[in-house]
Amino acid sequence: MLERFKEPLYQSIPAIKNNRVINVTRENWNFCPYLVDKAVDDLISQMNKLQ
């Protein structure tokens, strides 16, 4: 799951979800909105696991 977020930050696009700005990789952004949502959800769950 981590490989999805290995891109440098400047290649990411900020997405807003739950009033938070989160960077989503361009690959997911271009694919379709559902994948952006999925990437954001994955990232949020990763952050929660790290805390």
pLDDT at 41: 79
Q: What is the pLDDT of residues 4-47, one digit of tens each?
A: 555 554 455 566 566 566 666 666 655 555 666 777 778 788 87
**Rg of the chain, C-alpha, whole Å:** 10
40: helix, strand or coil: helix
Q: How far apart (Å, rounded) are the C-alpha atoms in residues 14 and 12?
A: 7
- Residue 19, SS3 per DSSP: coil
Q: Is the pTM of this model over 0.85?
A: no
Give the span between the Cα atoms of 39 and 42, in whole angstroms.
5
Indicate the residue type of 45: S
